[in-house]
Amino acid sequence: MSATKINLILFGIGNVGSALINQLIKQQQYLLEQNNIELVFAIITNSTLAFFEREDQKNRWDADFTKSPAPFTIQNIIDYTTESEFENLIAIDATSSTEIVKSYNLLLENNFKILSVNSSSTIQQHNISPENLLDAILETAENFNTQKLQTA
């Protein structure tokens, strides 16, 4: 059976976001072999730009101003994921931006799961600590994997 591909959209490449990227890149092969889950950072954003993973190279990102002009909007991200037919979307909010928090409902309406380490978030069901972020991603990914097995 093919691995369940999980498309991660990371908002924020500060300390927490960068640490998460490095941690997941180191563990990608293990997660694929042990959990049958392929975690992909499809999009990474900083405060003004969105970087899209190159299709031909894993863990390489390009800023594509035709798909997400600077500054990007949440709608740009949603449109891109829809056009690319991405499934199993997890939005990870590693920012301190209240604007991202205001977009949670829009993301949820467009089939994103949300994990947040954003101190501005008051939505406790989505808010997790930086130390537990990887575990939360894997738990959410396992839920996608279980849903895939149930529909197969």
Range of the domain at 55: 4-151
Task: Return the DSSP state at 127.
Answer: B
Q: Give the tens place of pLDDT for each residue, 72-101.
A: 889 989 999 999 999 999 999 988 888 888
Q: Which amino acid is at 27?
A: Q
* CATH of residue 124: 3.40.50.720
Of 106, 115, 118, 111, residue with least CA distance to 138: 115
The tally of domains found in the chain comes to 1
Query: Which of 9-13, 74-78, 106-110, 132-136 is predicted least confidently?
Result: 132-136
* Cα–chain center distance at 76: 15
C-alpha–C-alpha distance, residues 88 and 147, integer Å: 10
The whole-model pTM stands at: 0.78
Strands 37-45 and 50-53, by their bridges, are: antiparallel
Q: Give the tens place of pLDDT for each residue, 17-42.
A: 888 888 888 888 998 999 899 988 89
